[in-house]
Amino acid sequence: MEGVDCGLVAMLSEAEKYHAYARECVRLAGRAETPELRDKLIDLARVWMDAALTEEEAEERATRPSSHIAP
């Protein structure tokens, strides 16, 4: 993607990558030549944002201390 720095993306968490992809879709939507393309890019941005939120929740669960006490 033109607006996403590939070197920077390699250092980001998965959620941060997905946020970057969503922002790139929104940027491209602003330059779209047709309303149909704009709408598809906005829809794709929503998909990336949903994926980012899901990944953030998974990351949070993975780093949260377990409340289960081992016997």
**Which residue ranges make up each domain of the chain?**
6-62
Residue 52 burial by Cβ neighbours in a 10 Å radius (0-12, 13-18, 19+): buried
Q: Return d(Cα 54, Cα 46) in angstroms, integer.
A: 12
| Residue pair 52/18 in contact by the 8 Å Cβ criterion | yes
- What confidence tens digit (pLDDT) does each residue in 2-30 have? 666 665 556 789 999 999 999 999 999 99
Q: What is the pLDDT of residues 36-65, one digit of tens each?
A: 999 999 999 999 999 999 999 998 888 877
Please tell me the pTM assigned to this model. 0.74
List Cα–Cα distances, 5 to 10, 24, 34, 35, 71, in angstroms. 9, 11, 26, 27, 48
